[in-house]
Amino acid sequence: MSPPRLQLVNLRKSFGAVDVLADISLSVQPCEFVSILGPSGAGKSTILQLLIGAGGPDAGQMLVDGAPLSPSRHPFAFMPQGDALMPWRRIIDNATLGLQVQGMNRRAARARVTPLLAEFGLAGFEHHYPAQLSGGMRQRAALLRTTVQQRPMLLLDEPFGALDALTRAQMQRWLAGMWDRHRWTVLLITHDVREAVLLSDRIYVLSQRPARIARQFIVPLPHPRPALGSPALAAIEADILQTLFYPEEEPCR
């Protein structure tokens, strides 16, 4: 049996006197969509920062395909909170930025991105600037910039958190359809319980800081999932909320 694409083992991290991660162990299998939920300030984004090399853990292991993660390896494509598009670059040049940073020339980067514009709902807008696009379109451009790098795994840090409720729901449905077609390996950080249940195969819920894994949820439903009116999804959401709000009590059954 092949090892997980990502495995964290007894990860610990403090910033000065503040213990942020106490004991984090989790895994993500190839082609799996996994989310991390938890209270604000619990250290969800800290996990992603450690993975992309913005500091190191105080203890524990970070393994990719069974081997220790090292600074010389670049297995992750990272999408931060917000779209982080450069306002002075056109959409086509924002989408190619990650490839060019890796050393690909401008023409080759555009040749890779251009066939994907229609699938990401951006055909006809490639020469617009970010300010000329809606919030949802900017997020799609940011996700195109992330996925076109063809890294083994995507790290998404609350990618839809800044959007209004309607646009966020539309983007969640769009991402669900895109994942169903491409089967990317994804680790998502989110505050949105419904988003996590809609998109994920498994969900890790963190405790209050210093964070531990309070509980793991498996979502045993096929993709794509209904956005509304599913008793099975509603039951999982309720169970997660019970864990978040009343971590010391037994969840409702």
Residue 165: Cβ within 10 Å count: 7
Lowest-confidence range among 22-36, 71-85, 122-136, 207-221? 71-85
Distance of CA 8 to the CA centre of its chain: 16
Length reported for the chain: 253
Task: Return mean pLDDT, the chain.
Answer: 90
- 42-80 pLDDT, tens digit each: 889 999 999 998 888 999 999 999 999 987 778 999 998
Q: What is the pLDDT of residue 248?
A: 62
Structure tokens at 237: 């959401």
Q: Is the pTM of the predicted complex or chain greater than 0.75? A: yes
Q: Please give the backbone phi and psi of residue 126, each rounded to the nearest 5 degrees, phi first.
A: -65, -25
**How far apart are the C-alpha atoms of 59 and 76, rounded to whole Å?**
21
Locate CATH 3.40.50.300 in the chain. Answer: 28-54+154-253
Instruction: Give the other-Cβ count within 10 Å of 94's Cβ.
Output: 24
Which architecture, in CATH terms, is 28-54+154-253? 3-Layer(aba) Sandwich (3.40)
Over residues 163-217, the pLDDT tens digits come to: 888 888 888 889 999 999 999 999 999 989 999 999 999 999 999 989 999 999 9
**CA 76/CA 150 separation, integer angstroms:** 9
Give the per-residue pLDDT at 10: 95
* Contact in structure between 183 and 177 (CB atoms under 8 Å): no
User: From residue 225, how far is each of 182, 196, 253 by CA, in Å?
Assistant: 16, 12, 22
Residues ≥6 apart with Cβ < 8 Å to 124: none
